[in-house]
Amino acid sequence: MARVVITGQGTINALGKTVPETLEAFREGRCGIGPLDIRDVERLAIQIGGQVHDYDPNAQFNRQQIALYDKYTQFTLIAAQEAIAQAGLSFSGDLAARSGVVLGTAGGGMNTQDENYRAVYEEGKNRVHPFVVPKLMNNAAASHVSMQHNLKGPTFTVATACASSNHAMGQAFQMVRSGLAPVMITGGSESMLCFGGVKAWEGLRVMSKDACRPFSANRNGMVQGEGAAIFVFEEYEHAKARGAEILAEVVGFAMSSDAGDIVMPSKQGASRAMEGAIRDAGIAKMDVGYINAHGTGTAANDKTECAAVADVFGAHADRLMISSTKSMHGHAIGGTGAIELLACIMALKDGVVAPTINYDEPDPECALDVVPNEAREAKVEVALSNAFAFGGLNAVLALRAV
């Protein structure tokens, strides 16, 4: 099996419009969550989110492009441009024919749906823009990355709610590892911060009105975010031959399904996914120095996830670090795993572990080292990235320092 390395990364999210800006926010423990600036916000019970502010699509895209690109696609293309530029790759010939794109999103073009439903239902219009369908479809972002960068190999979108990005990156990893593709562009994107998107989440009554406080005893729910992160997964020999800078190696991936409840998480399902990723990576548990938690800040997730980590790692659970960067960028739903992978790569490459901010009070049910409030310098050999979705679908990636 081929080795798989990451040679490019890009992002736009509430913490920054590039990777360096985002990593700086991680290091400083900065919070990107604040008042939402969206239409009809006064009719929402939840009025905060990890929104990308001061964002002007006209600065990035022309009128024809904006007519076709929902915000989730725009975020994807901005992040993909940064990632592919860093990797220094251009795609032509056989490389283009065999390389592809696998992306995760839960809602796809949610803003497009929201705007157009509003037009026909609320405003009583009987006509919508001709590009509504190609703009809102869940594979639009993957297709536009493919078109913009001439990627002609396997290209599709994965939708597994909050685990979409991790499932997508797992597919990309397996494709490169198996020799199916020399390079895969992967990651995820979400832009659900519109009236309908937030209103739907409100209904579940798991949202916080004031802050995301993962693992803290006074946590009171999740906070939605938005954004994208995109990576270049490349076969190791291919990257080495062209002298590319290697950011980290992807060494393992596993998925599991709880087959239990549509919203409540399961300790066994989470444990099986972490165990599977460690086994797939062929590493020892004690090599894992950092876990980027799913860490949503809900009562249910955080205690279940901590119990699963304690079960999987035994005594080593007390030595490893586990943090939730959702406290800073919010829960970017189908894009969240990709944004969180940036924190894993920062830990491995730069030796800085991103903190869990807003940590006020210890919770005996989350008694692990959650890297409270301040980033920490540490040498990390292996990092895991957890994603546990509604529907009981779990996906865990394992990365190693190079």
Partner 1 sequence: MAQDIQAKVVEIIAEQAVLEPSDVSLDQSLEDLGIDSLGVVESIFAIEEAFDISVPFNANDPSDSDFDISSVAAIVKAVQGLVAEQKG
Task: Please name which of 188, 196, 137 lies closest in space to residue 163, comparing C-alpha atoms.
Answer: 188
Question: Which of 45/378 has CB closer to partner 1?
Answer: 45
Answer yes or no: are the C-beta atoms of 288 and 321 closer than 8 Å: no
Residue range at the interface with partner 1 (CB under 8 A); choices 47-55, 167-175, 201-209, 349-357: 201-209
- Find all residues with CB under 8 Å of 361, minimum gap 6, and list them: 216, 217, 218
Interface residue with partner 1 among 62, 262, 377, 379 (CB under 8 A) is 262
Total count of residues recorded for the chain = 402
Q: Within 13 Å of residue 37, how many CA atoms lie on the same side as its CB?
A: 8
Q: DSSP secondary-structure letter at 392?
A: T
Which residues face 188 on adjacent strands? 104, 229
Report, in Å, the least distance between residue 211 CB and partner 1: 13
**Whole-angstrom Cα distance, residue 94 to residue 217?**
54
Q: Name which of residues 267 to 306 contact partner 1 (CB under 8 A).
A: 298-300
Q: Which is nearer to partner 1, 296 or 385 (CB)?
A: 296
Does residue 149 have an active-site annotation?
A: no
Q: What angle do CA 328, 336, 361 make, to 5 degrees?
A: 40
Q: Is 206 in the site for partner 1 (CB under 8 A)?
A: yes
Instruction: Answer yes or no: 294 catalytic.
Output: yes
Q: Which of 294, 306, 329, 366 is catalytic?
A: 294
Catalytic residue among 31, 162, 306, 344: 162
- Interaxial angle between packed helices 336-350 and 164-178, expressed in degrees from 0 to 180 and rounded to the nearest 10: 60
Catalytic member of 144, 149, 238, 331: 331
Q: Known catalytic residue: 129?
A: no
* Euclidean distance between CA atoms 31 and 329, whole angstroms: 7
Residue from 205, 282, 315, 377 touching partner 1 (CB under 8 A): that is 205
> H helices then E strands: how many in the chain?
15, 14
Choices 27-35, 68-76, 132-140, 255-263 (CB under 8 A): range interacting with partner 1: 255-263
Of 217 and 378, which has the nearer Cβ to partner 1? Answer: 217
- Minimum Å gap between C-beta 95 and partner 1 is 48
**Cβ 202 to partner 1, closest distance in Å?**
11
Which of 187, 188, 221, 330 is close enough to bind partner 1 by CB under 8 A?
221
Indicate which residues carry an active-site annotation. 162, 294, 331
**Residue numbers of the site for partner 1 (CB under 8 A)?**
45, 203-206, 208, 219-221, 261-264, 298-300
